[in-house]
Structure 1
Amino acid sequence: MPFAVGVIETYGFPAMLAVADAMVKAGRVTIVKYEQADSGRQFVCIRGPVSEVKRAVEAGLIVGSDLPNEGCVTTHYIVPNPPENLEVVLPIDFTEASEEFWIEEIRDNRLPGF
């Protein structure tokens, strides 16, 4: 099953929290990284099947565009089928905690194609 990486950057933590919440509720994705960047910018990185990541990022952008003055989405990007060298260099690979999530999904046959 082809996997993708999706990243949304926001200004402010409340905006990042709202975006992350919308993404994990909209698709079968897992958060693999979140961090504070420069001057109050936050980013959240998700992984999952390509179609699920696309749906999750779209949901995050919708929520991010409806936020009041607490924050906003500054940018986003989706990488379908990232090559191995990208996964080795950038912090976009599944973590030990997120691996447990996917193992449970596969074991319980909740992911299509398994």
Structure 2
Amino acid sequence: MRAHAYSLGMIETLGLPALIAAADAAAKAADVKVATYEGADGGIVTVYVIGDVSSVQAAVDAGADAARRVGRLLHSHVIPRPDESVPKMIKNLLKPPVQEEVKPEPAQAQSASALAEQSINDLRKLARSYADFPLTTNEINTAKKEDLVRLLEEKQQGGGEQV
């Protein structure tokens, strides 16, 4: 197995304030990247830092001291040049989180109660998606929520075509 060129540092605390203090101190103490954090049951949280061996060691030491001052430090550890299988154990350690874009459901799939629960902005976007909506864009932008719900319900029943 091949070892990575960076080191992995871990600081485990009880509670989020101690974790945030540890991550802040670690990031300020040396040239490291605070990669991610994980939570476990009972308020146990761990922050992971990566960088070269000496920087990670300095960062973990500073982070552990900060965690002790703010709350409760449970453990800290540095793994110099971990095997490539180790970071795979830690979900999303080196990958930024992917944020999915939330799109409104097609009007045909929404019930009347689902339409009424949507925000006015979502209803306006949905109304604009119809090529033959009975209101102009300016009228949609100023329409009341109950009017948009009623007109969208009519569109659903009539089977209007979305753009």
Higher strand share: 1
What TM-score does the superposition give when structure 1 sets the normalisation length? 0.73
Write the letter of the residue equivalent to 1:54. Q
Percent sequence identity over matched residues?
Answer: 34
Inter-partner Cα distance in structure 1 for 2:69 and 2:96: 33
Find the residue that maps to 1:66 and give its secondary structure.
Answer: helix
Shift in CA distance, 62/81, structure 1 to aligned 2, threshold 3 Å: same
- Paired residues, number: 94
Give 5+ residue unaligned stretches, structure 2: 98-163
After superposing on structure 2, the runs of 4+ consecutive aligned residues of structure 1 that deviate more than 6 Å are none
Q: Which has the higher contact order (CA 8 A, sep 6+)?
A: 1
Report the CA distance between 1:91 and its aligned residue.
3.5
Inter-partner Cα distance in structure 1 for 2:53 and 2:68: 23
Confirm or deny that 1:37 pairs with 2:49. no
Q: Which of the numbers 33, 48, 51 marks the counterpart of 2:51?
A: 48
Aligned counterparts, 1:1-114, within 5 A: 2-67=5-70, 71-91=71-91, 93-96=93-96
Find the residue that maps to 2:62 and give its secondary structure.
Answer: helix
The Cα RMSD (Å) is 1.9
What TM-score does the superposition give when structure 2 sets the normalisation length? 0.53
